[in-house]
Amino acid sequence: MKYLVHWLNIDTHPHTYKDIAISSFGAIFGIFVTYYGTKLFLGEQIAFLITASMGASAVLLFAVPHGVLSGPWSVIGGHTISALIGVFVAQHIADPIVASSVGVGSAVLAMQTLRCVHPPGGATALIAVIGGSAVHDLGYGFVLFPVVINALMITVSAVAYNSFFPWRRYPPVFIRPSKPSVSNAISAVDIENAIRELDIYVDISSDELLEIYDHAIQNRR
């Protein structure tokens, strides 16, 4: 069983029912704000399409608010660059299958290059390609509204909602450490260098890894 859990990469980190409920209600709040705002200004059809993309963002922002992929730059930058690429590809490649493939692949390339990897960005690029006339008629206007505005709305929603819970404040810079750091021999820069040398990718910031290290040392003592 342990081998199966390891092979399937199942998250074994314990989640309290309280935190699960907080994440769920946060997603409700975030999607309500973005969906209502988009429907109010652009109508039901576009609201339905873009909310599919923002729904994926809600999972990250409210269930994994401190993950690297959930950071404000990842959310706003990832959606924006993906929308730009999606619109460009839709206007220059007629075949929808080719356009969809190129759009999503190019979005991944751009997000990694600009250090704003946000998985829902792939959905945004795809929507720009296959969204139909309602999306295509907007042209590059689709990038500003609804995409950029919605990305800002759901990010602000996450900041506001998570601010009520000290251990979940978003982004992590708003979290005030309850205990002084004991990791005098290691720094966030040291961790970043180690990750770079090992050529691995983890969905957690170096500061959070350092905090984990601090807690581990404190508990051992």
The total of structural domains in the chain comes to 2
Residue after which a domain boundary falls, among 173, 188, 212: 173
Query: Quick check: 126 and 30 in contact, CB under 8 A?
Result: no
pLDDT tens digits, 144-196: 988 999 999 999 999 999 999 998 999 988 887 655 455 556 766 777 677 76
**Residue 66 shares a structural domain with residue 91:** yes
Query: Quick check: 128 and 83 in contact, CB under 8 A?
Result: yes
Residues 6 or more apart whose Cβ sits within 8 Å of residue 157: 29, 30, 33, 34, 61
Q: Which domain holds residue 100?
A: 2-173
**Residue 25 shares a structural domain with residue 111:** yes
Does 212 score more than 80 pLDDT? no
**Residue 117 shares a structural domain with residue 140:** yes
**Residue 200 shares a structural domain with residue 123:** no
CB atoms < 10 A from the CB of 63, how many? 17
pLDDT tens digits, 11-53: 777 788 999 999 999 999 999 999 988 888 878 877 877 878 9
**Residue 102 shares a structural domain with residue 140:** yes
d(CA 8, CA 177): 34
**Residue 206 shares a structural domain with residue 166:** no
Q: Nearest to residue 205, comparing CAs of 189, 216, 219, 218?
A: 189
**Residue 86 shares a structural domain with residue 148:** yes
pLDDT tens digits, 83-132: 999 999 999 999 999 999 999 999 999 999 999 999 999 999 999 999 99
**Residue 72 shares a structural domain with residue 164:** yes
Query: Quick check: 124 and 148 in contact, CB under 8 A?
Result: no
Q: Nearest to residue 90, comparing CAs of 114, 39, 48, 124?
A: 124
**Residue 26 shares a structural domain with residue 102:** yes
The secondary structure of residue 144, as a DSSP letter, is I
**Residue 164 shares a structural domain with residue 91:** yes
| pTM (2 d.p.) | 0.80
Within the chain, residue ranges assigned H as helices are 2-8, 17-42, 44-63, 72-92, 96-113, 120-130, 133-136, 141-142, 149-162, 188-198, 206-220
